Amino acid sequence: MITEAAKDSIRAVIYIALYREDREFISIKEIAQTLNLSFYFLSKNLLKLVKAGILESFRGPKGGVNFKKDPKEVKLIDIISAIDGTYIFESCILGFKECSETNPCAIHNKWAEERKRLYDMFNISVKKVADEIKSGEIKNIKI
């Protein structure tokens, strides 16, 4: 449903939330190596999050990224929107341009319910997810 870029970006942002204490910036190289992601693609995606005002970046030997906004205010949906856009939460699953409440496709109503469920699922703060990981509430996770 969401792209690999959005999934990787969510993992990276959760990593930052988990390991940012007492650090001004976390290097993108560290994040990429730890999460086994492409440095090039992760850099591109995190730049989108910087442009969206979610993260801030700093160049140089002690550079990297960190939150610009409080992680309590950043929702997973914000990351998905910055990387993929909001089409998944707004458009017809079958790709019909004319699909709407007044002109529904064959599965419009079912998709509308599912789309709402997905939106609600991703409408959780990065801080809450990080706290659940730290507390052990979420187990067997490899960010």
In degrees and rounded to multiples of 5, residue 65 shows phi and psi of -130, 155
Q: How far is CA 45 from CA 29, 82, 107, in A?
A: 13, 9, 33
- Does 1 score more than 80 pLDDT? no
User: Angle at which helices 4-19 and 76-84 pack, to 10 degrees?
Assistant: 140
Which residue ranges form the domains of the chain, and what is each CATH number?
A: 4-132 (1.10.10.10)
Mean pLDDT of 55-82: 94
Q: pLDDT tens digit string along 25-50? A: 999 999 999 999 999 999 999 999 99
The one-character DSSP state at 99 is: -
Q: What is the pLDDT of residue 26?
A: 95
DSSP secondary structure, 20-82, as one string: -TT-S-B-HHHHHHHHT--HHHHHHHHHHHHHTTSEEEE-STT-EEEESS-TTT-BHHHHHHH
Mean of all residue pLDDT scores within the chain: 91
Sign of the dihedral defined by the CA atoms of residues 34, 40, 46, 47, in that order: positive
What 8-state DSSP symbol labels residue 107?
Answer: T
What is the mean predicted confidence (pLDDT) over 81-85?
95
Q: What is the pLDDT of residue 143?
A: 60
